[in-house]
Chains A and B, each alone.
Chain A
């Protein structure tokens, strides 16, 4: 095993990072190609007294894939086969390194797709989606990853392999494993549920004169009983940044923009579109446009899904937050976020899943400016605080990772944390699977050592 563990400085430097601003300290990296090899890697790490961490494409934003405590990085990108597609059951067995978008592309010939569609779907892996219980714009109607996983083959931290599913086990432990951020073991094969591609789709782009009106319209759409397949909001600065790059015809004069998508049978789509139009006009929409072709729709989504990358056109660094607030508090929290940014002299942009109240305020900065990191940290914590005060939660879909670990106490009681720690210990008594993540320091006996440099808290 030691023969295939890479330890060159360059490789360790790269697998020590993900899409967040943190830097880890891995001791080695290996690229298994089968369940047996993952098992061997886990056993090898155990025998050396090392911790281990599973890695996919490294697109996470909360530092979940940052190796701590000199872990062995088990990179699953070479396990990228779609093992089987069962069209009748609408299910597929895939390996964890399969890219989210590749899976849907592969099953498109059967008119099927994998519903969770995070913005990073072209790069991120199904294994990572399972670890983070990923969402995406279309999870508003379809539900997040946990609603689309039928079974998991897992290498436990003990090195044993087991199957987690609903039918053949005493307990259905899928729910515990999905979203456990790599702390319960490594999924080496995943049976996903596939859903039918919608026969008709209507994608609307709506402009508003204020963020407040946009937010009110969002609440009104959901309250009316329509369940759009996606309901996204972008504020004026991000709309301008994105439009410069995709040329999707976004309303540049609007203070806020909604992307509303409705799918289903033809008449219900046309009815829904009409209803949405009525509602948004009632809330003062300044523009309303429906995508006229699949190409136009694709361009709108390209703009939405690559939005956060387009920020580099304005500032070299960004810090993307991920909290959730009740829909009716959207407007209020957004104005608080804007006030926080002004207070810390930072630029902020908002692009988020408005339909489920999942905010993504993006703080932009140049980390070479002295003292800016402190201001970014302060603003970040403040955003979390106001979101929780509004009755929200810490994370919608990016996970807790390292980034929000020490905010856990703001939301959970000691008792809550203790039970979470006990669940973790049931899977991983020694705390060697992705240590130091999610559970705050001191909430359990394991994982007590240094945090990596560059870590936020």
Chain B
């Protein structure tokens, strides 16, 4: 009997059969782009999964490596003319590979433990912020410059009568990027919303765990969210989390990515925002563009105040990929290198001094890109919009 029989049985046969091996996905895969090797391509990975499932190939260390290095950016899905549902192939595979103990997953498991325990996360953040002051942070840890003490939320909401929304504050997003939450609240209140904060009670949504294949932990956290008696509309300003929560809470809550919600108010924002003589380069998070199909929204929102320029790489991943940059640093750095080349190409073609910001709507991309060598400030689009509110109109005038 073949050793590998019984592996990957949860992968749907029809999903595997949809792939006709045409190769049109290849250039849309960041790991194929940097390696040029079939084994690091969606077509190759599907072929390997199918063959292991059927017992034609053994699950060798090369195949494990090929599957471990899939960032799951889903750039291949919109590119596929056959409509292969790649996520439904790779997710059960990742989950199965992480269902048992592997020593190499130990640092990743530790990291994921930290983000789900807000006290640990705050302690870790504190340590990092001190280390940053002393300039002793190891280079491989991509953490943004952290403000300490962390800015506080306003105790009293500025708008009380408006439509209620719950701002999902999350884990890393709250510990490292509290300012983006404050900017989000400023914008939402300017649009007349009454904003509630989800806070530590819910903490991490499990997107990082789900993405890395630790589905059990992810489910635990998602259940907590489902059972919570909270506001019916949840707003999320981290693209990875909004993608995951939309899926987990489908049917019970309305989950909106902040860009999606703001876009609904684009005419109001046209009155509220002032024109700025600056250029923004958009970096599209995979979970926004490929998974949620949100792309033109960010562009049109930023165009209210800025000149906007875009990359020409079909939204190729930056390499962050949730915890990917932590678990596969070599591949992630190579992928980021390619993204930075594209950034530099655009900067040079537009004229270096004119690009003031790079906008990216996901904390993973923000911190990972900031770890690369770019001289331009990398910020969340919400921050740019909040800073462009004309002072007269800000805060609940509508």
Residues of chain A having any CB pair with chain B under 8 Å = 8-11, 13-15, 17-19, 31, 57-59, 75, 77-78, 80, 97, 99, 101-102, 105, 109, 120, 122-124, 245, 306-313, 316-318
Contact = CB atoms under 8 A, between A and B. Distances in A.
B81 interface: yes
B84 to A, nearest CB: 8
B324 to A, nearest CB: 21
Contacts, number: 104
Contacts of B58: 9
B36 A97 contact: yes
Nearest to B19: A312
Given A10-B60, A77-B36, A19 B82 contact: no
Contacts of B353: none
Interface stretch (B43-51, B91-99, B111-119, B260-268): B43-51
Q: Please indicate which of the listed interface residues B44, B47, B79 has the most CB atoms of chain A within 10 Å of its own CB.
A: B44
A19 B83 contact: no
Contact of A19 (B17, B23, B349): B23
B36 A122 contact: no
A245 B82 CA distance: 9
A5 to B, nearest CB: 13
Interface of B: 17-27, 35-39, 44, 47-48, 51, 57-58, 60, 62-63, 66, 79-84, 312, 349
Given A14-B39, A75-B37, A310-B82, A59 B23 contact: yes
A326 B200 CA distance: 73
A332 B351 CA distance: 58
Given A57-B23, A58-B23, 5 more contacts: A9-B57, A11-B37, A308-B22, A310-B81, A312-B83
Contacts of B83: 245, 310, 312-313
Query: Which 10 A-B residue pairings sit nearest by Cβ, starting from the closest?
Result: A309-B81, A77-B36, A312-B82, A306-B81, A14-B38, A316-B17, A59-B23, A8-B62, A10-B62, A78-B36
22 contacts: A9-B57, A9-B58, A10-B63, A13-B47, A13-B51, A14-B38, A14-B48, A18-B21, A58-B38, A78-B35, A102-B27, A122-B27, A123-B23, A308-B22, A308-B81, A309-B24, A309-B81, A311-B82, A312-B20, A312-B81, A313-B18, A313-B82
Contacts of B17: 312, 316
A59 B62 CA distance: 23
B60 A8 contact: yes
Nearest to B81: A309
B48 A19 contact: no
A80 B34 CA distance: 10
A123 B51 contact: no
B48 A122 contact: no
Contacts of B66: 10
B22 A19 contact: yes
B20 A318 contact: yes
Given A99-B27, A120-B22, A11 B38 contact: yes
A178 to B, nearest CB: 22
Contacts of A122: 24, 27, 79
A355 B144 CA distance: 57
Contacts of A78: 35-36
Contacts of A8: 60, 62
A312 B20 CA distance: 7
B82 A17 contact: no
B27 A123 contact: yes
Contact of A312 (B18, B23, B25, B63): B18
B136 to A, nearest CB: 37
B89 to A, nearest CB: 14
A316 B23 CA distance: 15
A316 B20 contact: yes
Contact of A10 (B36, B57, B312): B57
Contacts of A101: 27
Given A14-B38, A17-B21, A307-B81, A57 B57 contact: no
Contacts of B27: 99, 101-102, 122-123
Nearest to B66: A10
Nearest to B21: A19
Contact of A11 (B20, B23, B25, B62): B62
A10 B39 contact: yes
Contact of A105 (B20, B21, B312): B312
